[in-house]
């Protein structure tokens, strides 16, 4: 029930902090010493966050609600109010041409072009590994050796891939500063070859037919949470990225037409993606509909229906079935499908389109997300039939392209 001024005035401190909820994430925290602090709880990039909105009675209930509504409007526009507040604080207390100020400006301008989880990783990397060391420096004064020192600090803890990614992000910030007239050159360009190359990592996957059959039988006998079991059963049939699977929403599915349309904002390629559903996939989803069909997410969290299952759920399920991380991963279902479909002669372009691999020509990609769709529908059904035959273990159905 929403708060009232009377409730707030009469709230007495206790031995532990007391939380008085209003609505839409706004609540009042009453400390054991009697202080009353306004807080706003919100989610951004799949993570729960908090913002302080001041203290009562300096900030009245109506004022706190106005602040809440303003911040929620920022969220609706794709802006993280916490990051915006940090950027404003840095700009107020430091050099307007500092690396951190310009980096946060660059981030706010471009983050809507990225998947939310990817954007969150970028800003966290900068906040943890770059801002504490060169964040307050004028961006035009940072030299290549200074930037290399930052990167080697990251490399020294064994995070070589992170060091490469941060060098790439810093280069993007420097080039943005050049374009906006606040820097003359990009020192990261001088560091090419200064870091050891990363080893290409492949997601563990099972591609031997007999072993695939063993895996599918293990999944069919999974004894854990029913939603996790459904996710494990659906993953090999649709072979989308793990994040695309766990974030699936019922509004994206048309089971009568046997089709799943994933919107552009949830795709790595930033273009919409069509997943033709085999008869087997539709059966799984119709069964799951009885469990989670009244919720937003197809695979809600075990703790709350308001959030999707965690990004480690499928992998944890595989571990529970006895498959180590170097044997099989959730991402490995993509490699499994790609390897076998290519081996059996299916059209490579159709496979690549179904895998939603990024199209180099972004304009072409935007108009051709349905490319090869008739062939893909045949392929997805043939793939499901082939997997069924592997699971049964006898009379394996040929997967030859028709």
All domains in the chain, ordered by first residue: 5-76 (3.30.160.390), 81-191 (1.10.150.130), 209-392 (1.10.443.10)
Position 379 scores a pLDDT of: 95
The token pair that represents 95 in the structure block: 């050099």
Q: Which of 104, 111, 233, 331 is catalytic?
A: 331
CA of 250: how far to CAs of 205, 286, 373, in Å? 28, 11, 22
Give the Cβ contact number of residue 73 at 10 Å: 11
Q: Which of 65, 104, 266, 334 is catalytic?
A: 334
Q: Which of 268, 307, 319, 344 is catalytic?
A: 268
Please tell me the total number of residues recorded for the chain in this structure: 402
Position 364 scores a pLDDT of: 47
Q: How far, in Å, CA of 302 to CA of 146, rounded?
A: 46
Closest CA to 162 of 131, 191, 121: 121
Positive or negative, the CA dihedral 3, 8, 13, 17 is: positive
Active site residue 241: yes
Position 363 scores a pLDDT of: 45
Q: Which of 182, 229, 241, 273 is catalytic?
A: 241
The arrangement of strands across the sheet holding 253-254 comes to 253-254, 259-262, 273-276
Closest CA to 314 of 391, 204, 214, 161: 204
The token pair that represents 164 in the structure block: 């490469």
Closest CA to 134 of 157, 150, 120: 150
Q: How far, in Å, CA of 285 to CA of 361, rounded?
A: 34
pTM greater than 0.85: no
Closest CA to 26 of 279, 60, 12, 294: 60
Contact 117, 247 (CB under 8 A): no
- Coil vs helix vs strand at 55: strand
Active site residue 357: yes
Spatial CB neighbours of 156, under 8 Å, sequence gap ≥ 6: none
Q: Which of 23, 357, 364, 400 is catalytic?
A: 357
Contact 260, 380 (CB under 8 A): no
User: Please, where are the H alpha helices in 5-135?
Assistant: 5-10, 61-76, 81-93, 99-110, 116-129, 131-134
pLDDT tens, position by position, for the chain (402 residues)? 789 989 999 989 888 899 999 989 999 999 998 899 999 999 876 778 899 999 999 999 999 999 999 888 877 766 778 877 776 666 555 567 899 999 999 998 888 777 676 788 899 899 999 999 999 889 999 999 999 999 999 999 888 989 999 999 999 999 999 999 999 999 999 999 999 987 655 678 999 999 999 999 999 999 889 999 999 999 999 999 999 999 999 999 999 999 999 998 888 877 899 999 999 999 999 999 999 999 999 999 988 888 999 888 999 999 999 898 888 999 999 999 999 999 999 999 899 999 988 554 444 444 566 688 999 999 999 999 999 999 987 666 667 666
DSSP state of 328: -
Position 241 scores a pLDDT of: 93
Position 235 scores a pLDDT of: 96
DSSP state of 37: E
Q: Could you check whether the bond before residue 268 is cis, i.e. omega within 30 degrees of 0? A: no
Active site residue 331: yes
DSSP state of 137: S
Position 88 scores a pLDDT of: 65
């Amino acid at each position: 029930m929403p708060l009232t001024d009377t409730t707030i005035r009469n709230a007495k401190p206790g031995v532990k902090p007391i939380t008085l909820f209003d609505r839409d994430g706004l609540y009042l925290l009453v400390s054991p010493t009697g202080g009353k602090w306004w807080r706003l709880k919100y989610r951004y990039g799949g993570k729960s966050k908090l913002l302080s909105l001041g203290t009562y009675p300096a900030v009245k209930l109506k004022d706190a609600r106005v602040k809440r509504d303003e911040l929620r409007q920022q969220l609706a526009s794709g802006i993280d109010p916490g990051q915006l507040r940090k950027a404003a604080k840095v700009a107020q207390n430091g050099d307007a041409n500092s690396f951190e100020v310009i980096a946060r400006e660059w981030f706010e301008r471009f983050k809507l072009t990225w998947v939310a989880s990817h954007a969150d990783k970028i800003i966290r990397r900068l906040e943890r590994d770059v801002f504490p060391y060169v964040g307050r420096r004028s961006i035009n004064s940072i030299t290549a050796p200074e930037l290399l020192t930052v990167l080697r600090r990251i490399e020294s803890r064994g995070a070589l891939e992170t060091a490469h990614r941060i060098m790439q992000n810093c280069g993007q910030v420097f080039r943005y500063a050049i374009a906006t007239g606040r820097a003359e050159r990009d020192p990261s360009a001088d560091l090419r070859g200064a870091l050891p190359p990363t080893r290409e990592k492949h997601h563990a996957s099972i591609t031997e037919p007999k072993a695939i059959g063993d895996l599918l039988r293990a999944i069919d006998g999974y004894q854990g949470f029913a939603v996790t079991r459904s996710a494990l059963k659906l993953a090999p049939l649709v072979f989308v990225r793990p994040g695309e699977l766990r974030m699936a929403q019922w509004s994206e599915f048309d089971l009568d037409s046997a089709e799943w349309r994933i919107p552009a904002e949830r795709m790595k390629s930033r273009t919409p993606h069509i997943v033709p559903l085999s008869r087997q996939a539709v059966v799984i989803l119709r069964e799951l509909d009885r469990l989670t069909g009244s919720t937003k997410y197809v695979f809600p969290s075990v703790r709350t229906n308001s959030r999707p299952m965690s990004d480690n759920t499928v992998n944890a399920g595989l571990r529970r079935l006895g498959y180590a991380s170097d044997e099989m991963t959730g991402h490995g279902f993509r490699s499994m499908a790609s390897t076998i479909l290519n081996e059996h002669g299916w059209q490579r372009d159709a496979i690549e389109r179904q895998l939603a691999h990024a199209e180099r020509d972004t304009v072409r990609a935007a108009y051709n997300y349905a490319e090869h769709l008739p062939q893909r529908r045949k392929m997805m059904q043939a793939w499901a039939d082939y997997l069924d035959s592997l699971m049964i273990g006898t009379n394996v159905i040929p997967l030859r392209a028709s």
